[in-house]
Amino acid sequence: MTTADDTTRDERGRELDYKPWGAYWVLDDERGDHKVKRLVVEPGKRLSYQRHRRRAEHWYVVAGTATVVLDGEEIVLLPGQSVDIAVGQAHRCENRGTEPVTFVEVQTGTYFGEDDIERLEDDFGRAG
């Protein structure tokens, strides 16, 4: 059994983290110069509005309609569309639809730990 913010392994042995907004799988983090994740955002949920000091991100939408907020500006992404997020740029993904949003995140930079998150706003009490 898993709960929000719970880490486990999937049937392939990949890291699987359940979050209040959905879940993510780590697909690749072995080389040290990048990290690749698959994220699923459940309907009506959104990630925290956040920024990273040591990494940039590239988000590629695979399924669903994602509303991305980038430095306060909204961008709607459909499957096959992507967005680049620079180091230090405030961002979040929102799912305003009725189906899950799935996207692939490619992180590049010097550090990929989950503690490189400055939460500016959060629906789940994690900002601060």
DSSP secondary structure code for residue 64 in this structure: S
Q: How far apart are CA 78 and CA 23, in angstroms?
A: 19
pTM across the whole model: 0.88
Six-digit token pair at 119?
A: 């939460």
Q: Name the band, by pLDDT with cuts 50, 70 and 90, for residue 4.
A: low
Domains defined for the chain, CATH in brackets = 6-120 (2.60.120.10)
Extract the tokens encoding 68.
Answer: 């991305």
Binning pLDDT at 50, 70 and 90, where does residue 128 land? Answer: low
Least confident of 7-11, 52-56, 101-105: 7-11
Contacts of 60 (CB under 8 A, 6+ apart): 81, 82, 103, 104, 106
- Convert the pLDDT of each residue in 93-120 to its tens digit: 999 999 999 999 999 998 998 899 999 9
Cα 116 to Cα 35, 42, 43, 98, 101, distances in angstroms: 13, 23, 26, 31, 23
How many alpha carbons lie under 13 Å from residue 48 in its C-beta half-sphere? 17
Tallying the residues shown for the chain, one arrives at 128
pLDDT at 3: 44
Per the DSSP assignment, residues forming a β-bridge with 26 are 37
